[in-house]
Amino acid sequence: MTESVQTTHEVEIDNSNRSTTPRSDTFLDYISSHWADRPEVIPSPWPVAPFAAQRREALARQFAGERLVIHAGAMKQRSNDTFYQFRAHSAFAHLTGWGAESEPGSILVLDPTADGHEATLYFRERAGRDSDEFFANPEIGEFWIGARPSLAQVAGALGIRTAPIADFVSSEGDRVIGRGAVGGEDAGSASAEDAELSRAASELRLVKDEFELAEMQAAVDSTAKGFAEVLAALPQASAHPRGERIVEGVFNQRARLDGNTVGYETIAASGPHACTLHWIRNDGPVRAGDLLLLDAGVELDSLYTADITRTVPVSGVFSEVQRRVYDAVLEAADAARAIVRPGIRFGDVHDAAMAVIEHRTREWGLLPEDDGTAYHRRYMVHGTSHHLGLDVHDCAQARREMYLDGVLAPGMVFTIEPGLYFQPDDLTVPEEFRGIGVRIEDDIVVTADGCVNLSAGIPRTADDVEAWIRAAQA
């Protein structure tokens, strides 16, 4: 076993050119004294604790006799000495139940025992008020970043043994998730990402437990509120030259009010920007007569995220061509959802949606003569579905035979999101289609005999969308 230098940031911070706090013994005595007592309250176990314990046990069974090390990760540098808001590695959050409150640099270790594994959560405990870190360390000092949890408090909340980060030692034999969380020259092989362990942890999330399904529904419900608030703000967005940023800001406010943040960068794509699949610049106008494609999701404090898309007419009413395109996308979404049940292949969901997309685009005369080429994919190049959970594209390290070619099982959560995108300069389509982009995305959970649309409460048909806009702006 070799010691490893732990860090909470991915780069060393140089504060040499910043003013410093006095460090004389007289000042230290003064600032460390005359504080009111702060009793330590040990919380009862959080609802997620027993579920996280079951997940750890399930993963450990696959690696009998081996030491598993799962890093939360370090804070990522934004520029110079500023960092992005910390967000723990999804495998760490899943196996500990520690979400938005988790501490940078934390490490979950599953040590092998005679009858399984013993879990220990290592992290850097709060600095006492008798230390200079309390007031002088901008990385961990409570004067700078606020109160931090104690080892006992985290142990109580998560139902897991905790220990100071200084007690953690790495080994050449460790199987590791979260490369880059260990600093120092000895990081080397001890911090190398273990592909097999990462795959197993990813596949463990393919089927959601009861706690996860409740969180997914809550994330969707919060996202629905954000969408309604965006519709109410459409007049304000239309009045601003960068109206897409009004849309983005309104939704992101809901995400911060109800949860941790957004689950991914909000796509607020108006007019021809809707034809750019990952339009996140969001700096364009929101004009009457255009469609607004809003792809957004609230990430809760548990770190579970929704992923919803609705396409709405800015003026409140679809044009004839817009409605024709919209109805075709809705038909594709409904066809895909209709086949979802345990036992089918995950990829069949995509095939069902694409069959409708091909039929409608051929019916409209947009495709060359049928020679077996998937010409319709010009207008929808992305997939129809992806798993969803702690990551917006969850379970990404899973094997193909478990994911794309996998068989659906109750508890799986994924999106169904067909679309049609007619680029403004696409000469293969009539001019009236150019610049129209439509996507409809819902979050689906597989049940014992079919599926449930978690986002069914968010209007989907063209008529319901128009009524939704009227109600939001009444």
pLDDT digit string, tens, across residues 252-262:
999 999 999 99
Nearest to 96 by CA among 40, 179, 178, 214: 178
182-241 pLDDT, tens digit each: 443 333 334 568 999 999 999 999 999 999 999 999 999 999 999 999 999 999 999 999
Handedness of CA 248, 249, 251, 255 (dihedral sign): positive
Report the domain count for the chain.
Answer: 2
Same domain, 165 and 231: no
Starting at the edge strand that comes first in sequence, how are the strands of the sheet with 107-113 ordered? 161-164, 116-123, 107-113, 68-71, 175-177
Same domain, 257 and 326: yes
369-417 pLDDT, tens digit each: 999 999 999 999 999 999 999 999 999 999 999 999 999 999 999 999 9
Same domain, 276 and 174: no
What is the arithmetic mean of pLDDT over 157-179? 93
Check pLDDT > 90 for residue 145. no
What is the arithmetic mean of pLDDT over 308-331? 98
pLDDT class of 179 with cuts at 50, 70, 90: low
Which pTM value belongs to this model?
A: 0.94
pLDDT class of 141 with cuts at 50, 70, 90: confident
Please state, in angstroms and rounded to a whole number, the distance separating the CA atoms of residues 194 and 180: 12
Name the CA dihedral angle for 425, 356, 383, 206, rounded to a multiple of 10 degrees: 160
Same domain, 122 and 32: yes
Range of the domain at 19: 2-203
Same domain, 199 and 215: no
Long-range contacts of the stretch 232-239 (C-beta < 8 A, 24+): 232/472, 232/473, 234/286, 234/292, 234/314, 234/469, 234/473, 235/473, 237/286, 238/285, 238/286, 238/287, 238/288, 238/314
42-92 pLDDT, tens digit each: 999 999 999 999 999 999 999 999 999 999 999 998 998 888 999 999 999
Check pLDDT > 90 for residue 429. yes
What is the arithmetic mean of pLDDT over 459-472? 98
Residue 153 has a pLDDT of 96
Same domain, 224 and 144: no
Residue 188 has a pLDDT of 37
Please state, in angstroms and rounded to a whole number, the distance separating the CA atoms of residues 13 and 78: 12
CA distances, 388 to each of 166, 219, 414 (Å) = 35, 11, 5
Instruction: Please name the residues in contact with 18: beta carbons below 8 A apart, sequence gap of 6 or more.
Output: none
Check pLDDT > 90 for residue 362. yes
Same domain, 168 and 292: no
* 354 neighbors 385 (Cβ within 8 angstroms): no
Structure token digits, residue 52 = 């996280």
Same domain, 120 and 267: no
